[in-house]
Amino acid sequence: MSDVGYSPDYEVYLTPVNGVQIVTNDLSIAILKEMRYRVISLSDILSAIDVPKSTVKDSISKLMRMGIIDTLPGVPNVRNTYYRTIGRLLFCNDTDVDWQIYARTASSIRIMESGHCTSREDLSLYAASLTEVGVNIIQGLFNIGSALTFGMYRGIDVESLTRLIVEQAAGVGIECKVDFRNGLRLDLTSDRDISDTSLLITPMLGFVIDNSYIIMGYNLARDISLMVCESGHKVNIRIDPFEGTSDDLDTPMVFDNESYRLQQKFSIYSVRGESVIFTNETMIRIMEEIVERSLSVNELESRLHVPKATVYAGVSRLLEIGAIVLDNSSQRVKRYILQAEPVVYCTEPASVDRRRIQQVIRRFQDSELDYYSAVISLAKEVIDLVGLHFDRMFEGSGARTARTVLEHHSIPDLQTFLEASCCMVSSPDRAEIVSQYPVHVRIIQSDRTLWGTWPTDFVRGFLREGIGYFIGDDAHAIIETVREDGSPVDSSDFRT
């Protein structure tokens, strides 16, 4: 990890033995990127990256100790040892948002035209929001899709897989051309904006990648190239061949509550549009304290119970990178307020029943749970298992979606906007307007809910943005979440 306690470049892995591991070293990240496309030897790395041999050896040794890579079994050690990835990449900062420029618009159009949200829009909006704040979750979605479909399509051949892909695309109004020559190429076309399709289809591509040798006779790389053109009406997806044999790739993710522990707590914030990972405890605690209010160094010292010099050093670093700023409204005392947007934070992993994870997989494979619901449900169970939380990010997602709705749709008054906010909650949950003045929205959480607090967090951000637009600053709003029997889950008051 970076000595200064933060890094704009990172990869977060889930390893079979050592739990969650964070990589920020530039050389290690470069090595791991190469390993998405091929198994590599020491000489391969030295020919691709101009660094001393001893430095490369040190990086390889560290990655092996972390449990992210291992030597390739079954290959005679004649002149070189070959290495493969055994950890699963959850997310990283290596993202390209250009292809997502229309994604949220595509989802909001479907919601506003139909008058309701579905799990398809949930997956699209949530995944696009992470991409927008600089977090690449493509690899994580690969892993989710691989786990969901493990053993499901045993023995499927190229013709059957092609037919399955084409039929599923046609079911949502998309024409799909499939080419398995020299890798996988999907050309998707529709008369509607389908720019978010790349995120929606990515989990299923995880299954194709993990089973590519069985299906096609060669492996596919664990990476994806995307291109969106014609204002989102055409999407091209390409996955290159993997350079190696059938034994070169790791096995599908197996969920184990004991091994998936956090070795080091971290937080990810979006700073000036780019995601930054923080591991310095003082810096993380400073940002958590000033999420809602500005505080001075003295006030932070008394809250954090650490020496003033430590607080001051953390504040100085956060100011330097733009994560916090001076509160201009404070007069005599310098106070600081959060400028960065919270994305991910960690707690101790919850006590999660592994049977719930297997139940999601079983329900999907038995056609009791649709594909989009299954992806988000399994993702939620996994992040709970690890101890990761995205709820603060979903408030930002709701706010950005509100801006998109106000920009692209005719919303004449607050009542219409409140009705739109209720459309953002998908089945089996629902939402209703209790009152317009003051604004009071109630979310009814089903006993079969798939999302936990995510809809509430999303609607809170949606309302914060829209109420300010119609009423102005300092407008009062209440969001109440109850169960189907009326018992309370959560209630929050806020002002815009």
Express each pLDDT in 355-391 by its tens digit: 788 889 999 999 998 899 999 888 888 888 888 888 7
| DSSP structure string for 435-451 | ETTTEEEEEEE-TT-SS
In the chain, the percentage of residues whose pLDDT exceeds 90 is 41
Q: What's the N-to-C CA distance of the chain in angstroms?
A: 38
Per the prediction, the chain carries an average pLDDT of 86
d(CA 485, CA 488): 9
Helix (H, G, I), strand (E, B) or coil at 426: strand
Alpha-carbon distance 460 to 398, whole Å? 7
Which has the higher per-residue pLDDT, 19 or 281? 281
How would residue 97 be classed by pLDDT, with cut points 50, 70 and 90? Answer: low
Q: How many CB atoms lie within 10 A of CB 496?
A: 18
| Residue with tokens 């493509």, as numbered in its chain | 138
Cα distances from 450 to residues 91, 94, 453, in angstroms, run 22, 29, 10
The pLDDT value recorded for residue 82 is 86
Pairing of strands 476-483, 439-445: parallel
Provide the strand spans (E) within 200-321.
225-229, 234-239, 267-271, 274-278
Residue 288, SS3 per DSSP: helix
Distance CA 215, CA 373 (A): 26
Q: In what order do the strands lie in the sheet with 175-179?
A: 175-179, 184-189, 234-239, 225-229
Q: Identify the three-state secondary structure at position 389.
A: strand
Q: Which of 40-44, 275-279, 439-443 has the lowest mean pLDDT?
A: 40-44
Instruction: Give, to the nearest 10 degrees, the angle between helix 454-470 and helix 414-423.
Output: 170
Shortest CA distance to 188 belongs to which of 177, 172, 196? 177
Torsion of CA 107, 112, 116, 120, to 10 degrees: -10
- Map tokens 């299906």 to a residue: 215
Domains and CATH numbers, the chain: 27-87 (1.10.10.10), 267-345 (1.10.10.10)
Rounded CA gap, 140 and 481, in Å? 30
Checking if the pLDDT of 401 tops 50, the result is yes
Is the per-residue pLDDT at 33 higher than 70? yes
Within 10 A of 68 (CB to CB), how many other CB atoms are there? 26
Residue 93: φ, ψ to 5°: -100, 0
Reported as half-sphere exposure (CB side, CA atoms, 13 A), residue 458 has a value of 24
Taking only the tens place, the pLDDT of each residue in 297-329 is 999 999 999 999 999 999 999 999 999 999 988
Express each pLDDT in 193-249 by its tens digit. Answer: 888 887 788 888 988 988 888 888 888 998 888 888 888 899 999 999 998 764 544
